[in-house]
Chain A
């Protein structure tokens, strides 16, 4: 143990680190929102009696669950500018933030979809029939009867998945986005203090994720049906 720790570069770097954490949390919030909305649509498609829709959603989920997130981030890093150029007819740059955000939304939607599907399936079939029997349309039955209950059941799982998503946001490192980990790495490289900065980053991630999963556990006990 000849290494001498020197934590002095952390206090001065706090503003940068906070900015980095801001980016991580923005990514988390937007990807969560997009992922859950898109995941709900996918889940409804998977459960749909229309075969091509169900087939598409199934293939989508299986595809994104078999490839690594890093590969998806690379995919969209190169794909998004192409698509925009194709739509608008001129070359465009979107920057790594938006391409990474789209990658997260598309990728996490596959995981949210499976949670939401299980949530919907946990509602007894009779409730759908009851909703139809009182004259509701499919949309109304989903909106007023099934989804409110399903979401309540699956809140703990959705939040747990979001904690995983938060951890996954650190992978934007591969497209050099200055998220919390990226900033910590840069400061560490500048000051020659990578050891301390990475340990500090690990500590911060641990406290946040552990705290969040503790809250989820409490919620789960409180809202258990």
Chain B
């Protein structure tokens, strides 16, 4: 085993001379975080709507949401990404697909991964939101309806304010997953963190330094995400509910 460690490699100039390898890592981290955060916003919005749809007493709405969840949970993420990247531009109407294809490749890869991860994670968020709503005692909904609220008002004023606070802890692990899942974007050419570390490994032959750096950064992301979620859990804890977050 004659591997020569060289941690100074990150300060070396990249082949085109415009940056150092650290800059590559930072730019990779930037893409990872931007894809993950933007997709998270989409997933939360879409997932919340779908989660509510799954619980309403309307066969059509709950059927659509159930079909959505089953489709997006049972197809591998990578296959979904390829469908967004290779298939969707071909079948989009009004020349939208051509516009996508003529776009700057990085922007195209970013938009594709953002949509793919967002829709993929929405299915998971949906299940958590549904579980949150279903975990509320049946009496709450009945009480809301009995006081003369419409179904929509019952959801808006009674069920959702409680349910959204209860689902914060389980959503935390989805929040961590979305950062890890964003690494699939490298297959369509987005130079996010994993791709950058792979590229550094290829350019410098300092494979292990590059991967250790990426690993440490991912651990840092996870720790940050855990800290944020723990703070949110404490902040939005429902008093008297064990599942509303631990401690104090």
Residue numbers of A with Cβ under 8 A of B are 1, 3, 63, 65-71, 74-75, 78-79, 82, 85-86, 167-168, 170-171, 173-174, 181, 185, 194-195, 198-199, 201-202, 205-206, 209-210, 213
Whether the pair B90, A3 counts as a contact (CB closer than 8 A) is yes
Tell me the bound Cα distance from A171 to B218 in angstroms. 18
Whether the pair B86, A198 counts as a contact (CB closer than 8 A) is yes
Residue numbers of B with Cβ under 8 A of A are 1, 3, 70-71, 73-80, 82-83, 86-87, 90-91, 93, 176, 180-184, 186-187, 194, 197-198, 201, 207-208, 211, 214-215, 218-219, 221-223
Closest 7 CB pairs of A and B: A66-B222, A68-B183, A209-B74, A167-B76, A86-B1, A68-B180, A170-B76
User: B1: which of A1, A68, A75, A82 is its contact (CB, 8 Å)?
Assistant: A82
Whether the pair B194, A198 counts as a contact (CB closer than 8 A) is no
The number of A-B residue pairs with CB atoms under 8 Å apart is 106
Tell me the bound Cα distance from A82 to B4 in angstroms. 12
Whether the pair B79, A181 counts as a contact (CB closer than 8 A) is yes
Tell me the bound Cα distance from A201 to B78 in angstroms. 11
Q: A1-B93, A78-B211, A210-B74 are in contact. Are A202 and B218 (CB under 8 A)?
A: no
Whether the pair B218, A67 counts as a contact (CB closer than 8 A) is yes
Whether the pair B75, A205 counts as a contact (CB closer than 8 A) is yes
Instruction: Give chain A's interface secondary structure class.
Output: helix
Tell me the bound Cα distance from A199 to B90 in angstroms. 12
Q: Contacts A68-B180, A171-B184 known; list 7 others, CB within 8 Å.
A: A1-B91, A68-B194, A71-B215, A74-B194, A170-B76, A170-B79, A210-B70
Residues of A within 8 A of B83 (CB): 198-199, 202
Tell me the bound Cα distance from A185 to B1 in angstroms. 37
Whether the pair B198, A206 counts as a contact (CB closer than 8 A) is no
Whether the pair A71, B76 counts as a contact (CB closer than 8 A) is no
